[in-house]
Amino acid sequence: MNLSQLPNISPNLIIVGFLGMIAIVTAIGVVAFNNPIRSMLSLVANFFTLAFIYFSMGAEMMGITQIIVYTGAIMVLFLFVIMLLNLSADSVISTKKLDVKPLLAVPVGLALFVGLLSQVMMPFAKVTQPTAPSGWGGPQAIGRTLFTEYVWPFEIISLLLMVGIVGAILLARRRVEE
């Protein structure tokens, strides 16, 4: 392979590559750890790294939404549930028996990986400056799009969520004896 064919390495690319590496390692950690708390923390680190990747690309709003929604809310609920049930490694891992499923999973997984890679790698190979144009995806732009172009989907989704919350409360609440 000729070195001159490699893309120009810019500082931004190095940062994104470094963060991407951490993201991959933590993503492997999510499935590799036996302890549910460790896997969950890997997932938190993974989401955090993703947010940093967005920051480094100049998409601040997207990055902060990633932190607020995933790291700050959803993963805390995961943590809460895991702690409440006090799940330990033993209760998750079943006995080791010879199974065909892992053997089948390897080729399927590899095929999926290659398929994704062939689709994703080609456009990415030409990127040298991974940054968003300024003003792209800022709070003003998102707000304007959300409340003009997508106002009906937005309102309908909020209604749907409201119905979901009310339904959850109705199902979960203690029955009062009349």
Using CB under 8 A as the binding rule, whether residue 77 contacts another protein is answered as: yes
Helices (H), the chain: 11-32, 36-57, 60-66, 75-85, 89-92, 100-125, 139-147, 151-172
Question: Which residues, 6 or more positions from 110, have their beta carbon under 8 angstroms from its beta carbon?
Answer: none
Q: What is d(CA 164, CA 157) in angstroms, rounded to the nearest whole number? A: 10
Residue 160 Cβ, how far from another protein at the closest point, in Å?
19
CB-wise, 27 or 38, nearer to another protein? 38
Question: How many residues at the interface with another protein, by CB under 8 A?
Answer: 23
Q: 22: how many CB neighbours lie within 10 A of its CB?
A: 16
Interface residue with another protein among 80, 113, 150, 154 (CB under 8 A) is 80
Considering only residues 7, 17, 72, 115, which one is a binding residue for another protein as defined by CB under 8 A?
72
Q: Please tell me whether residue 105 binds another protein under the rule CB under 8 A.
A: no
44 binds another protein (CB under 8 A): yes
CB-based burial of residue 161 (10 Å sphere; 0-12 exposed, 13-18 middle, 19+ buried)? exposed
- Residues of this chain that interact with another protein (CB under 8 A) are 37-38, 41, 44, 60-61, 64-65, 67-68, 71-73, 76-77, 79-80, 83-84, 86, 138-140
